[in-house]
Structure 1
């Protein structure tokens, strides 16, 4: 079997949208399949390694992927993608032969909490963002040296942005909105710092025109070099972009469920 992204599409189509699994030919390279899926879904988490299941694995971390193999799983890597878990690795079949496997299972995603346009300032938008994305992993970059970064940049940074980076790390919301791990300064002459962007070349920025970074407005510099200003913080902006179909930069028209694609390399 020649492994390509088209092959992966065919295999996933055979499994369908619900729960399913298959043993693959023994001559297939399981690492090659893992790499193809990682190119598509981002960095995986490890559920089983050398026959030992991570004791922290539960329903919120893909435990449903292990059900078909009982205690025969040898190595299973997993991805959360929208309302589905996807896993691959190796497991022993009923005859005890270790073989590559591909498995999918339904993933429960919390219903996005409605975002009203007139919500008050007491909303914790980072907690809202965690709910919307169904994020269950531990903080990815808890040891960020913000003092050093802010010293290099010559300015303090918004607190919600720092929480986003610490919580989610390197990756993209819905595999589309890339979160910068350090603000880009390419537009500094225009009074803008860039904290995120999309494959459509929209740049998500702050206009740093005050001493309190938590009051900086979000500015979208579009691909045609026009600026659109939003009187909100970065986390609130992302929440509204994800689930408000009427937002001018909405992603709700393209994605029914929302997730964060982690680009962190697995161990």
Structure 2
């Protein structure tokens, strides 16, 4: 059905026998947790262009329940809406997704890399894990953790950037004897770590250990590293060659 709609803007009313919840579940399995734009006929007042509100335009106020997913350069939406005769029917819609350039900073200004990451991914969901007990995690590890990593986990929760770079919900310590803590990994078995270097975790460099055991070090923090691999086409681990628009695939239950 999505193939019929193509890559542009489009929508369709589906046959009445299509189960809207099953369709939502199917898309959630593919695209992760959705954002609810309309529930029981009430539109989320915060819905705007950055969260897929364009999906609602063709329904002209007749949407009953619409949930949306950001995926690459598209918004995908499904749910129910009234047709021209007022009958509530399952619907499917797609629209183009564009994002502004990452926030610029003034000379000498310290960038807020998490804020940039939110803009790059178009993330508008509420914080997914605001109550993480970092004191307990850090006590168990015997180390303080980088502050931007903790903000990333609290903000995004469990999932993967571009459906590819999986964010660990707490660092893996299986290479601790080598002075490494792993904070993310990819389906290609590259592991993203910090090299424990000094008492200030916010100054720990990122080390990427590839599947063949090769290490490459980057003198930047966690959020900055993710921003750079998403948008910098010349970065050794860039994802910008594969996607023009970026997103976070949430594994949270829909």
Gaps of 5+ in 1: 1-10
**1:158-237, aligned counterparts within 5 Å?**
158-237=146-225
Displacement of 1:121 in angstroms is: 7.9
Displacement of 1:257 in angstroms is: 1.1
Contact 2:148 2:222 in 1 (8 A): yes
Displacement of 1:20 in angstroms is: 0.8
**1:37-186, aligned counterparts within 5 Å?**
37-112=27-102, 122-186=110-174
Q: How many residue pairs end up in the alignment?
A: 253
Q: For residues 89-126 of structure 1, what are the alpha-carbon distances to aligned partners after superposition, in whole Å with 9 as ceiling and x for unaligned?
A: 111211222211101122231124589xxx97822222
Displacement of 1:59 in angstroms is: 2.5
Contact 2:51 2:122 in 1 (8 A): no
Aligned-partner Cα distance in 1 for 2:108–2:144: 24
Aligned-partner Cα distance in 2 for 1:120–1:250: 26
Q: Which runs of 4+ in 1 moved over 3 A?
A: 112-115
Contact 1:82 1:109 in 2 (8 A): no
Contact 1:42 1:264 in 2 (8 A): yes
Residues 154, 121 of structure 1: alpha-carbon distance in 2 compared, 3 angstrom cutoff: farther
Comparing 51-60 with 11-20, greater Cα deviation is found at 51-60
1:31 matched to 2:21? The reply is yes
Aligned-partner Cα distance in 2 for 1:113–1:145: 30
Gaps of 5+ in 2: none
Aligned-partner Cα distance in 2 for 1:194–1:212: 17
- TM-score calculated relative to the size of structure 2: 0.93
1:17 matched to 2:7? The reply is yes
Aligned-partner Cα distance in 2 for 1:131–1:50: 29
